[in-house]
């Protein structure tokens, strides 16, 4: 039975970049068509928000406990106290719309249990992929097996790597990302892979119907990537007639069998004819490889005020419509019982880059260390134009491409290489991603 046609009142927690974008929608003629009203806004410093279109409060519980408010939109970010507010809103019988990937990924089972118990919605389309609408799309594949999810899920890292491909250093590209509003002062969540880790947890949990703790996902950022790597990637494979490679920060969920899923976030070389190679700048791209449908690609702006606000508004309209008709979205059972593969057993092809002392015997020592870990070297190259001096000695970037080997073996080799007096600094391993089966 449809409820009375009075405006559905909404409370907003957080009035940052995205919050203001949502507020702008409320102030437009489009909002009036859906009979939704912004009742109140909770912010940390009300005195700074006197231009808001609704009353402002410092206390989020004024929204959470207001019986007239039916939907709470949480856009403050972070896990604490955002989780407390989202949880309390559900307990108070309010549907919640959020863009908070960290809260959703970390507390998914608990939040769904509360939503189902109280007969309300938990909607989080904006938590992954901005305006791409990947969360609701992935739920439409419930009738078939998802085999792989491979994505570029962080626009900041993708922007930095794109600019490095044009010749900028990491620091120059990071500065540019900050100037454009793509990177925070503390960029570690983006460049360290943690933002992508939370997003991968959400997509994999929905795609494989099991909650995967984001803290158990193998995660590596892009801060070790240098212009030497960009140069190597561009030329790798061309000697055999290929089109070269590019480096992307990939988030991967790959079904190994009916019980095990391999999950990781890592920079990797992908061929220039890979579908994700053309995803540049602040854009996100996601590939789903499914049992019946094969390969599906989604792409678009993964962050920013308008794309994220677009996803929030889409959720808000659906959730309020559900409330009017006494319905809720279906809840995932998260009961398939799949497990995360042991990251140490993951098979990786890739290359090891190190600053090698340019003198006789250095290469022999490196080869011996790698041989002890049963690493099969496919090719060796030295980037002469990057040779440099340190303490009166000449060092040259030395790159060893290896065939597939276990992560544990590669890690042991890296530890031993780091201890060698023939090497300066930290050797770096970068994965060469195996193409999707349908690419």
- The CATH number of residue 15's host domain is 3.40.50.720
348 and 316 within one domain: no
**Is residue 179 in a domain?**
yes
The CATH number of the domain holding residue 380 is: 3.30.70.260
Query: DSSP string covering 54-79, please?
Result: S-EES-THHHHT-TTEEEEEE---SS
- Residue 435, strand partner residues: none
The confidence score (pLDDT) of residue 382 equals 85
User: Does residue 57 form part of some domain?
Assistant: yes
Q: What mean pLDDT do residues 325-329 have? A: 93
pLDDT of amino acid 128: 97
Local structure of residue 144 (DSSP, 8 states): S
Q: Which two tokens mark 59?
A: 């206390």
Q: Are residues 236 and 291 in the same domain?
A: yes
Predicted local confidence at residue 435, as pLDDT? 65
Q: What is this structure's pTM?
A: 0.95
- Is there a single domain that holds both residue 32 and residue 115? yes
Q: What is the mean pLDDT of residues 147-156?
A: 96
Whole-number Å distance between alpha carbons of 213 and 211 = 6
1 inside domain = no
Peptide bond into 81 cis (omega under 30): yes
Of 40, 70, 94, 199, which is the active-site residue? 199
Residue pLDDT, tens place only, 14-43? 999 999 999 999 999 888 889 999 999 999
Indicate whether 123 and 185 sit together in one domain: no
Do residues 179 and 264 both lie within one domain?
yes
CATH of the domain at 167: 3.30.360.10
- Angstrom distance (rounded) from CA 334 to CA 107: 12
pLDDT cut 70: percent of the chain above it: 98
Q: Is 439 part of any domain?
A: no
Which of these ranges, 42-56, 83-97, 133-147, 249-263, has the smallest mean pLDDT? 133-147
272 and 156 together in one domain:
yes
pLDDT band at 238 (very low <50, low <70, confident <90, very high): confident
Residues 6+ apart with CB under 8 A from 371: none
Same domain flag for 212 and 354: no
pLDDT in tens, 355-397: 999 999 999 999 999 999 999 999 998 877 888 888 888 999 9
In a domain, 158, yes or no: yes
Residue 138 lies in a domain: no
Report the pLDDT averaged over residues 146-155: 96
Beta bridge partners of 400: 352, 380
Apex 362 CA angle, 358 and 368, nearest 5: 155
With 60 as the cut, is the pLDDT of residue 298 above it? yes
What residue numbers bound the domain in which 78 lies? 8-129+306-324
Length of the chain: 439
C-alpha 387/C-alpha 404 separation (Å) is 28
How crowded is residue 106: how many other Cβ atoms within 10 Å of its Cβ? 18
Residues 267 and 310 grouped into a single domain:
no
pLDDT in tens, 44-69: 999 999 999 999 999 999 999 999 99
Same domain, 249 and 274: yes
- Whether the per-residue pLDDT at 113 is higher than 90: the answer is yes
As a whole number of angstroms, the distance between CA 97 and CA 126 comes to 9
| Span 89-109, pLDDT tens digits | 999 999 999 999 999 999 999
Question: Is residue 106 domain-resident?
Answer: yes
Residue-wise DSSP of 193-240: SHHHHHHHHHHHHHHHTB---GGGSEE--STT--HHHHHHHHHTTGGG
Q: Could you give the number of structural domains in the chain?
A: 3
Q: How far apart are CA 161 and CA 173, in angstroms?
A: 8
- For residues 170 and 268, state if they share a domain: yes
**What is d(CA 247, CA 183) in angstroms, rounded to the nearest whole number?**
19
3 domain-assigned: no
Residues 125 and 155 in one domain: no
Mean pLDDT in the chain?
94
Residue 313, Cβ neighbours under 10 Å: how many?
24
The residue behind tokens 């009017």 is 324
Of the CA atoms within 13 Å of residue 305, those in its CB half-sphere come to: 12
* Annotated catalytic residue 422: no
User: CA–CA separation, 89 vs 222, rounded Å?
Assistant: 37
Whether residues 106 and 152 fall in one domain: no
**222 φ, ψ (degrees, to nearest 5):** -110, 5
Residue 4 has pLDDT above 70, yes or no: no
CA distance 86 to 103: 9
């Amino acid at each position: 039975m449809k409820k009375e046609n009075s405006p559905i009142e909404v409370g907003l927690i957080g009035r940052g970049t995205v919050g203001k974008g949502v507020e702008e929608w409320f102030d437009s003629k489009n909002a009036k068509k859906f009979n939704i009203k912004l009742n109140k806004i909770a912010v940390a410093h009300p005195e700074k928000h006197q231009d808001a279109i609704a009353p402002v409060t410092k206390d989020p519980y004024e929204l959470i406990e207001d019986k007239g408010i039916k939907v709470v939109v949480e856009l403050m970010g972070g896990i604490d106290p955002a989780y407390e507010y989202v949880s309390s809103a559900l307990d108070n019988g309010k549907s919640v719309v959020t863009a908070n990937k960290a809260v959703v990924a970390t507390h998914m089972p608990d939040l769904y249990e509360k939503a189902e118990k109280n007969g309300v919605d938990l909607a989080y389309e904006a938590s992954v992929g901005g305006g791409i609408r990947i969360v609701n799309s992935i739920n439409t594949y419930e009738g078939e097996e998802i085999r792989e999810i491979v994505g570029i899920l962080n626009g900041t890292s993708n922007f930095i790597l794109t600019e490095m491909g044009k010749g900028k250093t990491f620091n120059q590209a990071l500065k540019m990302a900050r100037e454009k509003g793509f990177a925070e002062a503390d960029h570690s969540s983006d460049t360290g892979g943690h933002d992508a880790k939370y997003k991968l947890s959400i997509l994999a949990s929905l795609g494989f119907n099991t909650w995967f703790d984001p803290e158990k996902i193998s995660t590596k950022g892009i801060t070790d990537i240098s212009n030497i790597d960009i140069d190597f990637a561009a030329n790798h494979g061309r000697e055999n007639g290929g089109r070269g490679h590019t480096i992307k920060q990939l988030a991967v969920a790959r079904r190994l069998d009916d019980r095990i899923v391999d999950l990781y976030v890592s920079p990797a070389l992908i061929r220039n004819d890979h579908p994700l190679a053309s995803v540049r700048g602040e854009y996100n791209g996601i590939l789903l490889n499914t049992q019946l449908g094969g390969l599906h690609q989604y792409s678009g702006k993964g962050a920013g005020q308008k794309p994220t606000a677009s996803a929030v508004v889409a959720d808000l309209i659906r959730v309020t419509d559900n409330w009017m008709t006494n319905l809720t979205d279906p809840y995932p059972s998260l009961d398939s019982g799949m497990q995360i593969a042991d990251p140490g057993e993951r098979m990786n092809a890739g290359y090891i880059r190190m600053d090698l002392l340019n003198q006789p015997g250095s290469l022999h020592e490196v080869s011996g260390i790698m041989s002890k870990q049963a690493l099969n070297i496919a090719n060796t190259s030295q980037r002469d134009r990057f040779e440099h001096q340190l303490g009166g000695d000449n060092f040259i970037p030395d790159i060893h491409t290896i065939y597939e080997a276990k992560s544990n073996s590669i890690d042991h080799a890296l530890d031993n290489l780091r201890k060698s007096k023939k090497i300066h600094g930290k050797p770096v391993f970068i994965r060469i991603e195996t193409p999707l089966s349908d690419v």
